[in-house]
A and B are shown apart, each in its own frame.
Chain A
């Protein structure tokens, strides 16, 4: 269905999701994965575009995953995609400190159907080590989902965190690549992010994160417009649904609502990534 049809059954793409696996250090990993899919059905998510973040700290830090954990996590994500071909798509996770491994992982997972690249906080977003990854992303037509803190005022433990201004510098160096700025509701000050990326049309913030500040969505729309925003949940699907309902009462027209729900995602991911949305 298209936005103009007026159907209530609009496609919905979660552009920021995660799954777990047996080596992720938690006994309930399968239940958490099942819960995501169950809640996705309830919300009406057509596709979960997801990544696995190494071992989530179990055998190397979440934001600095070892090459072995990166590979294990990507393998787990590939398995989930194979098992759920109708509703799950994959970001291949890489650690840019291991440049050769990162390149090889992207190519390996691209061959098996990955549609985007996930960067954590293993290097600052404007670091030169990210340049070859951004070039590979452009070659494949893959967007890069980059973990972001909204306004980095200091270093945070266990991550080399970036903010919107850092990502903007990378995006300006790679105008042919698309970048998804992670979770405007994921901590920090989103009001710093919006002007920091306003002049970078190849940066698309996702709305995910536990933060549900009143005014956040309005300011994102004011600063960037609906053609730049992607709906997503990250780790809290209740806040994703709340934001969806909030968008519904903001007064967007059908095309703008569809843009945030799915057409923006369909535009920046490789063509044909979401056949159930076509």
Chain B
């Protein structure tokens, strides 16, 4: 199974300097770390009122790396013609769309978000959520959006059968709060990236594998904000009986459509 980083971004971050957040650098990092491909969003778009220009830039910058980097545009469901933007994203080969409810001032039960998540699923795309970009303890005073709430994730997971969620940068507590607050059918719509789950000595990742199952988790790095090596290190430090357990295949999250990204040659 190819290793797919579902949580990569390009572009600068407004609250601190991030070294060379560029697609050509990302590809080199993927090569170095043995990662086959990445779902890539446009970091500054999370902070734009209108993400449309950011999406244009995302598709343009990734076009030279289409065999490795898959665009994940941001779609704002309270923006006019978001449905057209969603359809265009699907036509352009997006595997998922990013939404940023806290940054857009949307509460946990926002109806437009539910509508978008359903529509994305019907187009064969997952809805990708970001719990946080940075540790709460280091945020800029102007970075006041706060973390995505567990209630918001539960509400989207309950929105309909077509919904598929990929939740990035969640920790154990949030994952458990969401997972055990859903029916088994709803739980199956939610996938969690492992970029922000702790390993030993607390062994949160191992505990989640035992209780929730490794098939609910996908590989994610949170590049360029965080060290790419973190999720691999976490997997390498799993307890002996969990070593080598398979994560979910990101290609299967929305399996009804689109070919998988091409694995890079050895």
Q: B199 is contacted by which of A33, A150, A238, A246 (Cβ under 8 Å)?
A: A238
Given the known A-B contacts A210-B135, A212-B230, A249-B32, are A32 and B201 also in contact in the complex, defined by CB atoms under 8 Å?
A: yes
What sequence of 0s and 1s flags, for each residue 192-207 of chain B, a beta carbon within 8 Å of any chain A beta carbon? 0000001111110100
A215 within 8 A of B: yes
Asked whether, in the complex, the Cβ of A150 is within 8 Å of the Cβ of B138, the reply is yes
CB distance from B137 to the nearest CB of A (A): 3
Interface flag for A191 (CB, 8 Å): yes
Q: Which residues of A contact B137 (CB under 8 A)?
A: 149, 187-188
Which residue of chain B has its CB nearest to the CB of A211?
Answer: B135
Decide: A33 and B201 in contact? CB cutoff 8 A.
yes
Q: Is A94 an interface residue (CB 8 A)?
A: no
CB pair A42 B226 closer than 8 Å: no
Stretch at the interface among B15-23, B55-63, B115-123: B15-23
Q: Of B134, B199, B224, which is within 8 A of A236 by CB?
A: B199
Instruction: Tell whether, in the assembled complex, residue A242 and residue B229 are in contact, meaning their CB atoms are under 8 Å apart.
Output: yes
Q: How far is the CB of B125 from chain A (nearest CB, A)?
A: 28
Mark B206-236 against chain A: 1 for CB-CB distance below 8 A, else 0: 0000000000000000011111111011101
Are A215 and B237 in contact (CB-based, < 8 A)? Answer: no
* B146 contacts the other chain (CB 8 A): no
**Quick check: A237 and B199 within 8 Å, CB to CB?**
yes
Residue of B nearest to A42 (CB): B237
* CB interface residues, A 191-237, toward B, < 8 Å: 191, 210-215, 218, 235-237
- Which label, helix, strand, loop or mixed, suits the secondary structure of the B interface? loop
Q: Is A253 engaged at the interface, CB distance under 8 Å to the other chain?
A: no
Contact: A191 with B16, CB < 8 Å? yes
Q: Does A71 contact B (CB under 8 A)?
A: no
User: Which residues of the other chain, B, contact A72 by a CB distance below 8 angstroms?
Assistant: none
Chain A 70-95 per-residue mask, 1 if CB under 8 angstroms from chain B, else 0: 00000000000000000000000000
Q: Cβ of B239 < 8 Å from any Cβ of A? A: yes
* A114 lies within 8 A of chain B by Cβ: no
The reply to whether B237 and A238 contact each other, CB–CB distance below 8 Å, is yes
Kindly state whether residue A239 has any CB partner on chain B within 8 Å. yes
Chain A residues with CB under 8 Å of B200's CB are: 35-36, 38-39, 237-238
Tell me which residues across on chain B come within 8 A of A33, comparing CB atoms: 201
Enumerate A29-63 residues with CB–CB distance to B below 8 Å: 32-33, 35-36, 38-39, 42-43
Q: Is the CB of A239 within 8 A of B135?
A: no
| B contact residues around A32 at 8 Å (CB) | 201-202
- CB pair A187 B201 closer than 8 Å: no
Interface centre among B138, B200, B228, B232 (most CB of A within 10 A): B200
CB neighbours (8 Å) of A213 from chain B are 16, 134, 225-227
Known contacts A35-B200, A38-B239, A213-B226; A238 and B17 CB within 8 A of each other? no
| Contact yes or no, B203 A239, CB < 8 A | no
Would A214 and B198 be within 8 Å (CB), given that A187-B138, A189-B138, A242-B233 are in contact?
no
Interface residues of B in 13-38 (CB under 8 A from A): 16-19, 32
A243, CB-defined interface residue at 8 Å: yes
Closest-by-CB residue of A relative to B235 is A238
Residues in B neighbouring A218, C-beta threshold 8 A? 19
Q: Does A137 contact B (CB under 8 A)?
A: no
Residues of chain B within 8 A of A265, CB atoms compared: none
Residue contact B138 to A236, C-beta cutoff 8 Å: no
Q: Output the residue of B19, B135, B232, B234 with the most chain A CB within 10 A.
A: B135
Closest chain-A Cβ to B126's Cβ sits at a distance in Å of 25
Q: How far is the CB of A211 from chain B (nearest CB, A)?
A: 6
Closest residue of chain A to B139 (Cβ to Cβ) is A189
Contact between chains at A235 and B226 (CB < 8 Å): no
CB distance from A83 to the nearest CB of B (A): 16
Our pick among B18, B201, B224, B232 for the contact of A39 (Cβ within 8 Å) is B201
List chain A residues, Cβ under 8 A from B205. Answer: 238
Name which residue of chain B comes closest to A185, CB basis.
Answer: B135
Q: Report how far A245 CA is from B227 CA in the complex, Å.
A: 9
A106 an interface residue at 8 Å Cβ cutoff? Answer: no
In the complex, are the beta carbons of B237 and A241 less than 8 A apart? yes
Report yes or no: A245 in contact with B229, Cβ–Cβ below 8 A.
yes
B169 to chain A minimum Cβ distance, whole angstroms, is 12
Sorted from nearest, which 10 A-B pairs have the closest CB atoms? Answer: A238-B199, A187-B137, A39-B200, A241-B233, A36-B201, A245-B229, A35-B201, A242-B230, A242-B229, A238-B234
Enumerate 10 A-B pairs (CB-CB under 8 Å) in ascending A order. Answer: A39-B200, A42-B236, A150-B138, A235-B202, A238-B237, A239-B230, A242-B234, A243-B229, A245-B232, A246-B227
Contacts from A to B (Cβ < 8 Å): 32-33, 35-36, 38-39, 42-43, 149-150, 187-189, 191, 210-215, 218, 235-239, 241-243, 245-246, 249
Q: In the complex, given contacts A38-B240, A241-B229, what are 8 additional A-B residue pairs having Cβ atoms less than 8 angstroms apart?
A: A43-B237, A187-B138, A212-B226, A236-B202, A238-B233, A239-B227, A239-B233, A245-B233
